[in-house]
Amino acid sequence: MRVAWARNDACMRAHAPDSYEELAPPAGPAAVEAAQAELGVRFPADLLASLACHDGLRHWANCLPVRPPLPVSEIVGHWRMCVEIDEANRADGEGREPEDEEPWWHPQWVPWAQSDGDAQIIDMRPGPDQGRLGMAYHDDCGVFEGGWPSLSAYLTEVAEVLEKGGAVGGTWVPYLTCDGELWWSLKDETELNGEPLTPAPAPAAAS
């Protein structure tokens, strides 16, 4: 995990320094331990290593595909909100998922990244899939199809794409905005607010 973040950091420093500056410093060990106690879930080793590199972002930035990473305090906040909503829905007779479908929320999901109420989650339920990444949408059930087997696998793929080109998950492509900021978008979406997006790393710098 530290290697993956070091590669991502190096790419951002070289090609999108303003985006790199949005990455927060490491989380404090006491805050991480308190978060695990609050959730009642031990974080996987790769999430612990990630938080020891960056405690989410200083401000919102589109510097990772899928969703921007959360600081540990907001991991707790989003988890608590979802648990409370789910408990209220179930008390009202709502929130019952059909058989063979994922629930809307599970207390052993760790929301490591989030935007607009949709969280990229780490599934810490016991079993062979423990540690996999999926999505918990605010208006749908959890989805793990098309995810990654681990946070480490995801961030390693991000590093590969930043260094060599391509698309993360076959979907998310890195670009540079006119201001030189890193911006992840879908394939063939080469404009942002009417301004062109340049493939990242910039062709001249990728040689």
**pLDDT of 201 above 90:** no
- pLDDT the model gives residue 77: 98
- Predicted confidence at residue 206, as pLDDT, reads 42
The pLDDT assigned to 97 comes to: 61
Report pTM.
Answer: 0.92
Is pLDDT larger for residue 204 or for residue 5? 5
Q: How would you write the chain as a 3-class SS string?
A: CHHHHHHHHHHHHHHCHHHHHCECCCCCHHHHHHHHHHHCCCCCHHHHHHHCCCCCECCCCCCCCCCCECCHHHHHHHHHHHHHHHHHHHHCCCCCCCCCCCCCCCCCEEEEEEECCEEEEEECCCCCCCCCEEEECCCCCEECCCCCCCHHHHHHHHHHHHHHCCCECCCEEEEECCCCCEEEEECCCCEECCEECEECCCHHHHC
User: Could you report the per-residue pLDDT of 134-155, keeping only the tens digit for each?
Assistant: 999 999 999 999 999 999 999 9
* Average confidence (pLDDT) over 8-14: 96
Give the pLDDT confidence of 77-120 residue by residue, as tens digits.
999 999 999 999 888 876 556 667 899 999 999 999 999 999 99
Band the pLDDT of 156: cuts 50, 70, 90: very high
- C-alpha 64/C-alpha 172 separation (Å) is 9
Q: From the CB of residue 40, how many other CB atoms can be counted at a distance below 10 Å? A: 9
pLDDT digits (tens, 9 = 90+) for 108-144: 999 999 999 999 999 999 999 999 999 999 999 999 9
Other beta carbons less than 10 A from residue 132's beta carbon = 21
- Segment 167-178, tens digit of pLDDT: 999 999 999 999
Cα-based distances in Å from 94 to 33, 74, 100, 103, 117: 33, 26, 17, 11, 19
Q: What is the reported pLDDT for 98? A: 61
